[in-house]
Structure formats: structure tokens, C-alpha cells
Amino acid sequence: MPKRPYVIDELISAKTIAARIEELSRDITAEFHGTDKLVVVGLLRGSFVFIADLVRELDLPIEVDFIEASSYGDSTESSREVRILKDLRSAIEGMDVLVVEDIVDTGFTLSHVIKLLKSRKPARLRTIALLDKPSRREAPVQADWIGFEIPDEFVVGYGIDFAQRNRNLPFIGKVRFTP
Ligand code: PRP
């Protein structure tokens, strides 16, 4: 439980998120039109709400799988290592793959996962992130589709936590600490 009191101000409403997911889904459906199967890979845990809404808008044959990564800083931060805590169940060689991330911050997580999955030789590998904080980027990575570019705010909700709380908010909120 966070010790400092805080309130959450709405930054992106549930309605705005839903409308953007509809747009993104149209693009993704067009990109993968004709595929035998698209493996949609959610990065646990933050992406679980986004992937659930996204896949229900895709007009494609899909399989859903998950991967869990955790990063930990070293003394320099810039060489942050990422460990895989849970790997895919599916083999992805020769498959079409879409990696679904909730937020790209420093980019270490997404760039590590892309490198790992590319080494398994998928036919096509694309990435989508609901939120992008380009001002925080340290690893040179860019998702193919972005829901919303946001400033360097402390965001929660729609899958994203603050000390494991608030993942169940239906909107993206901004944490504001109160005196
Ligand atoms: C968060 C978020 C992204 C990652 C982005 O995950 O869900 O996966 O950090 O940060 P980066 O671009 O700086 O690597 P977190 O490790 O907090 O785990 P969670 O998804 O379980 O909340």
C-alpha cells in the first residue's frame, strides 16, 4: 500500500480508449489480412486489459499467448537487464506475431522482448503499445502502433498499477500526490 496519500485525475477516458482501439484494430486487421493465424502476445501484467479489448476488435484468426518480463536496474540504469519470468507456450517460428505492451517507457522491456522473439524467426513481428512516453526513452525502440503519446506523467489504470493497485480502473489516470 503506497504510504503517501494521492488522488487520481483522469487523463484518457474509457470512451477515448475504446475509440482508439477501434481505429488501431482496423489497421492491424488490414496489415494481417489473409494470415493463417496471428499470435497475439501480451506482456504481463500491465497489458492484460488492453489485450482483452484489442483482440475482441480484431477480425482475424488469432491465438493469444503471454510473456512476462521483469527489469532490474544496475548502478548505471542505462544497461538495465530484462529477465523473462514466463515464456510463451507457443512456438512462433514462421508465424505472424503481434506483441502487445501497455506502456513503453525507457524501452528496455520492449526492445528485449523484440530481440528475443525475432531470434525465434517469426514470419512477421509487429508491436503495439497503448501508451508511449518518448521523453523517457533510453533503448532505441518504437512500437509499430501507438495508442497515445503521453508526457512523463505517473499513470495508472486500464491494467497499469501503482504498487499493484489501480489496475482495474477503466480509464488511464494520472497520480497526484496530496499533502
Ligand atoms: C511496466 C510496463 C511495461 C514496462 C515498460 O511493467 O507494463 O512492460 O514497465 O517499461 P520500460 O519501457 O521502461 O521497460 P512492470 O515491470 O511495471 O510490470 P507489470 O506489467 O507487471 O506492471
| Per-residue model confidence (pLDDT) at position 73 | 58
Q: Which domain holds residue 70?
A: 13-151
Q: How far is CA 90 from CA 56, 58, 73, 107, 174, in A?
A: 20, 20, 29, 24, 36
Q: Does residue 108 belong to any structural domain of this protein?
A: yes
Mean pLDDT across the stretch 19-34?
98
Classify residue 115: in a domain, yes or no: yes
Q: Is residue 178 part of a domain?
A: no
Q: What is the pTM of this model?
A: 0.95
Q: Is residue 97 part of a domain?
A: yes
144 is catalytic: no
In this prediction, residue 138 carries a pLDDT of: 93
Ligand 1 center–CA 70 separation, angstroms: 7
Q: Is the pLDDT of residue 177 over 70?
A: yes
Number of domains in the chain: 1
Which pairs with CB-CB distance under 8 Å and at least 24 residues apart come from 80-86? Answer: 80/106, 80/108, 80/138, 82/108, 82/109, 82/112, 82/113, 84/116, 86/44
Residue 37 falls inside a structural domain: yes
Q: 75 falls in which pLDDT band (50, 70, 90)?
A: very low
Higher pLDDT, 72 or 177: 177
Residue 160, pLDDT above cutoff 60: yes
User: Which of these is catalytic: 27, 59, 74, 105?
Assistant: 105
User: What residue owns the CA closest to ligand 1's atom 10?
Assistant: 105
Pocket of ligand 1 (CB under 6 A): 43-46, 70-71, 101-110, 161
149 C-alpha to center of ligand 1: Å?
Answer: 16
- 3-class DSSP state for residue 49? helix
Query: Cα(91)–Cα(71) distance, rounded to whole angstroms?
Result: 24
Q: CATH no. for residue 123?
A: 3.40.50.2020
Res 106: pLDDT = 94
pLDDT band at 70 (very low <50, low <70, confident <90, very high): confident
Asked whether residue 41 is domain-assigned, the answer is yes
The rounded Cα 137 to chain-centroid distance in angstroms is 15
Supply the pLDDT for residue 62: 98
